[in-house]
């Protein structure tokens, strides 16, 4: 089957990636000791809009043992310390997505920050039509092992769909036999995670990111107002509690969760005392390799 990579949807993936590459670099430059998490998140989200896109999900700011799904709460006063900081940012243009991440090391562990970046480069070097996703995972695992660290094995890269942040195929961060072969036109995010811990993350207690599960009738006024905003603005993409206009957002989300209208994304964490680093690009598989849409 011939795939037209000049199709409008691919152009919008490219546009999202171009915006995202610029915002990632600008946001990373603002990560310094003493700077507010909320300030960086809101800067990046507003900058995306200024450049003609929309956030595909709340800016993730993961610290030290945190790996994913951490974003500032409303009025958050947390500031960066001498820590390992992962920025994970997404953009959509009319629902067509790009996803990227970078580690800013303020902790004094530069090699841990380098490991997933080099692993990502090695993975991108072998991407072409017909490459098996397990081979990509093996390449990632080999590089991270070579640094003396562990890949986070229960997090993976993923496909990007229309209004869907995570679709098939999964791109593992270790060598596995199961998987699929990539095809021309596949749009995927490859995101190695490295850690000096055991290599598995678990759900923490904190939860600030949510997504629509289904539409339903709700009786509570605040919950109904929140649901209207979610359906109209975010559709099926993840959103932050701080994005909701209702003054009773926490209560509204609790009601919506009770009715299985939305689901939450708990922060994913390694064991306390360990660090996690990350690097991610979005690619379009081409006839002779891949096009990296989020490369600056």
pLDDT in tens, 280-296: 999 999 999 999 999 98
Q: Catalytic one among 92, 158, 196, 207?
A: 158
280 is catalytic: yes
Tens digits of residue pLDDT in 231-259: 999 999 999 999 999 989 999 999 999 99
pLDDT in tens, 22-60: 999 999 999 999 999 999 999 999 999 999 999 999 999
99 in active site: yes
pLDDT given for residue 1 in this prediction: 60
Residue 52 per-residue DSSP state: T
CA distance 61 to 79: 11
Whether 109 sits among the annotated catalytic residues: the reply is no
Inform me whether the pLDDT recorded for 273 exceeds 80: yes
User: Which residue in the list 15, 64, 135, 280 is annotated as catalytic?
Assistant: 280
Mean pLDDT for the chain?
A: 97
Longest dimension (CA), the chain: 56
Q: In the structure, what pLDDT confidence band is assigned to residue 2 with cuts at 50, 70 and 90?
A: confident
Identify the active-site residue in 83, 99, 135, 141.
Answer: 99
Q: What percent of the chain has pLDDT over 70?
A: 100
Rounded mean pLDDT, 265-270: 98
> Which one is catalytic: 191, 207, 208, 225?
191
162 is catalytic: no
Of 121, 166, 181, 213, the active-site residue reads: 166
Give the mean pLDDT of 122-139. 98
Beta-strand pair 202-212/262-269 = antiparallel
Give mean pLDDT, residues 207-222. 95
Q: Which residue has the tokens 């749009």?
A: 187
Strand partners, 98: 91
Instruction: Specify the residue for token string 């692993």.
Output: 119
Annotation marks residue 186 as catalytic: no
Which one of 88, 208, 225, 270 is the catalytic residue?
88
């Amino acid at each position: 089957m011939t795939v037209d990579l000049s199709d409008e949807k691919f152009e919008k993936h490219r546009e999202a990636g171009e915006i995202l590459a610029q915002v990632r670099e600008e946001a990373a430059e603002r990560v310094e000791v003493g700077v507010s998490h909320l300030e960086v998140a809101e800067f990046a989200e507003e900058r995306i809009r200024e450049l003609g896109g929309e956030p595909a999900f709340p800016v993730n700011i993961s610290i030290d043992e945190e790996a994913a799904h951490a974003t500032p709460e409303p009025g958050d006063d947390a500031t960066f310390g001498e820590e390992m900081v992962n920025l994970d940012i997404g953009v959509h243009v009319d629902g067509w997505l790009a996803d990227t991440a970078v580690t800013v090391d303020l902790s004094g562990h530069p090699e841990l920050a380098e490991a997933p970046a080099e692993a990502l480069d090695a993975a991108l070097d072998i991407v072409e039509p017909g490459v098996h996703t397990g081979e990509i995972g093996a390449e990632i695992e080999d590089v991270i092992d070579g640094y003396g660290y562990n890949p986070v094995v229960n997090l993976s890269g993923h496909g990007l769909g229309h209004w869907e942040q995570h679709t098939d195929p999964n791109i593992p961060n270790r060598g596995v036999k199961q998987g699929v072969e990539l095809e021309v036109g596949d749009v995927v995010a490859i995101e190695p995670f490295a850690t000096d811990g055991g290599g598995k993350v678990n759900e923490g207690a904190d939860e600030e990111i949510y997504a629509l599960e289904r539409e339903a009738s709700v009786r509570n006024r605040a919950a109904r107002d929140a649901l209207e905003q979610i359906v109209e603005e975010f559709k099926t993409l993840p959103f932050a509690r701080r994005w909701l206009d209702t003054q009773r957002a926490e209560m509204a989300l609790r009601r919506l969760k009770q009715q299985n209208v939305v689901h939450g994304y708990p922060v994913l964490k390694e064991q306390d005392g360990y660090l996690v680093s990350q690097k991610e690009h979005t690619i379009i598989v081409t006839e002779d390799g891949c096009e990296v849409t989020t490369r600056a």
